[in-house]
Amino acid sequence: MISEKILDLNKNGSAIRAMFEEGKKMAALYGAENVYDYSLGNPSVEPPREIKDAFMQILEEESQNYVHGYMLNAGYEDVREAIADKLNKSFGTAFSAKNIMMTVGAAGGLNVAFKTLLNPGDEVITFAPFFGEYRNYVANFDGKLVIAQTNPETFQPDLQVLESVITPKTKAMIINNPNNPTGVVYSEETICEIAELLEKKEKEYGISIYLIADEPYRELAYDGVEVPYLTKYYHNTIVGYSYSKSLSLPGERIGYLVLPDELDDAHEIIPGAAVANRVLGFVNAPSLIQRVVGRCQDATVDVEIYNRNRELLYSRLTEYGYSCIKPQGAFYLFVKAPGGDDKAFARAAKEHRILLVAGSGFGGPGYVRIAYCVDYDMIVRSLPGFQALAEEYGLTK
């Protein structure tokens, strides 16, 4: 028999990916313009022009063996230096190249972090709702994902709940800010309270609790909201970053980990993460795209495009009677499923060729996730479907 874990995952696959594959089939059947695919966080905004220019320049200027060759498992040193400099300028930190490790996206980075930190049975806390893959990443290393429910009205952390789930087996906690799937942003005040609690518990139990800041959505924040940089608030913070969303490069699998000198056991964690990157089979983050992002540290996608989507969808859906927190970050709306059954509602939406993901996969049953990183026109075309659905479910305006 093949891996039992994989047999189990085959049965209970990713709801996001299943919907994405479904969308491709439906697009072939009904025409792409008649399917409203809100399933996947696949950026609709073009990568900034600097990306293409950097590709071209590097391919012309640098040696082919260099740009496509092996480098240290942690990545090219000049690229890591450029990233450290940019972080230091942006957040007043004091990182150098050795604190940056290039990774195969944030998903690769999180797996490297867990491989480096976890022993079997160690507990990793996440707030719910959460990105469902955390469960798999932690399970890869025989850790246990522990869920801390957030305030059901605001999706903001509840410190008492958090305190109640910290145990002597707690090895790490993930904070995804801005949050996927809710789009909420945790404020500086909230982060300070969490940091204080973790420090207290570290002392109480005589343990190290690593805070893993999963930040692919850092730059996607609206209404002028600030997203705190967690290494400044808590000594044992590891940042996992990705350029997937901020530069619209999700297929390229490029990101990095920040491993500060202040970490407990930094002298083991920093080399250990490079070893983990190697033995997990990543070996190193893809080479040419490392060099591209190294040159594009000041590039940004036009967040206003997502903001326009957010405003349209939020205003219309609430107008139709749907209930939803207005997100301040990322590109997701987490909407209360009319009728209360998220899977049933996702199926009903599919009848209108609207593809949503049921919240159950995010530890948020009773909600659906709408990824609005799509063309504005697709949103416009989908609105009659949302309205019809609202009527079917008898939502009051």
Identify which range of 78-86, 88-96, 114-122, 324-332 contacts a copy of itself by CB under 8 A: 114-122
| Cα three-residue angle 168-172-173, rounded to 5 degrees | 115
Identify which range of 11-19, 179-187, 304-312, 339-347 contacts a copy of itself by CB under 8 A: 11-19
Q: Does 93 bind a copy of itself (CB under 8 A)?
A: no
The answer to whether the beta carbons of residues 36 and 364 sit under 8 Å apart is no
| Shortest separation between residue 24's beta carbon and a copy of itself, angstroms | 8
Provide the b/e sequence for 324-351 (b: ≥16 CB within 10 Å): bbebbbbbbbbbbbbeeebeebbebbbe
**Given the complex with a copy of itself, which of 141 and 186 has the nearer CB atom?**
141
**Given the complex with a copy of itself, which of 121 and 384 has the nearer CB atom?**
121
Q: Does 100 bind a copy of itself (CB under 8 A)?
A: no
**351 sits in which H/E element:** helix 342-351
The span from the CA of 65 to the CA of 291, in Å, is 13
The answer to whether the beta carbons of residues 371 and 44 sit under 8 Å apart is no
| Shortest separation between residue 251's beta carbon and a copy of itself, angstroms | 3
- Whether the bond into 338 is cis, omega within 30 of 0: no
Site map (CB under 8 A) of a copy of itself, residues 132-151, x = contact: -x--xx--xx----------
The span from the CA of 232 to the CA of 188, in Å, is 10
Residue 135 phi, psi (nearest 5)? -60, -45
Q: Of the candidates 34, 119, 151, 164, which one interacts with a copy of itself according to CB under 8 A?
A: 119
Site map (CB under 8 A) of a copy of itself, residues 220-259, x = contact: ----------------------------xxxxxxx-----
DSSP label at 166? -
**Given the complex with a copy of itself, which of 140 and 156 has the nearer CB atom?**
140
**Given the complex with a copy of itself, which of 280 and 325 has the nearer CB atom?**
280
Q: How many helical (H) and strand (E) elements, i.e. helices and strands, does the chain have?
A: 14, 12
Amino acid identity of residue 100, one-letter, is: I
Q: Does 345 bind a copy of itself (CB under 8 A)?
A: no
Site map (CB under 8 A) of a copy of itself, residues 33-72, x = contact: -------x-xxx-xx---xx--xx--x----xx-xxxxxx
- Footprint of a copy of itself on 265-284 (CB under 8 A): 265, 268-269, 271-272, 275-276, 278-284
Q: Does 328 bind a copy of itself (CB under 8 A)?
A: no
The span from the CA of 311 to the CA of 331, in Å, is 11
| Shortest separation between residue 321's beta carbon and a copy of itself, angstroms | 32
| Shortest separation between residue 40's beta carbon and a copy of itself, angstroms | 6
Question: What SS3 class is residue 183?
Answer: coil
